[in-house]
Amino acid sequence: MILFLTASYCGADTASEPSVKLNEISMTDFSDTVKKNAQIKVLDVRTPQEYMEGHVPGAKLFPLQDLQSQGASAVEKIPFTKEDTVYVICRSGGRSKVATKILNQLGYSNAINVQGGTAGFISMQNKVEK
């Protein structure tokens, strides 16, 4: 009898990383937060072209690519402090999830990924700035 043993390595690269719970907010809750407080801090991690096509009112642009390439030196250029509650948004929620993890590693413990992204924000009939 021949016995085959297999091992799954899916996610094995995360075994060495500490498990960090990602802070997230639903689009419904985010939309309500924006309506209640126009002064919230929103970091848009899309491309400049996407940002110009329409963004959450008051959102500041800092593309994910720049965040990834600049590493720790990005902290000096991010328009918010590490103590601020920062809502991180992209088009649909994928890039913002990556950016939120990077921000957490850089010491932004109050960075919150916006699920559904700008597309979700628009689909809920919210107005965007251009």
The Cα–Cα gap between 95 and 115 comes to 10
- DSSP annotation of 104 reads H
Would residue 10 show up in a list of annotated catalytic residues for this protein? Answer: no
From 78, 89, 90, 103, active-site residue: 90
**Contacts (Cβ under 8 Å, ≥6 apart) of 93:** 113, 114, 115, 116, 117, 120
Stated as kind and residue range, the H or E segment containing 88 is: strand 86-89
26: left (phi over 0), alpha (psi -120 to 50) or beta: beta
Please name the amino acid found at residue 31. Answer: S
Kindly list the catalytic residues.
Answer: 90
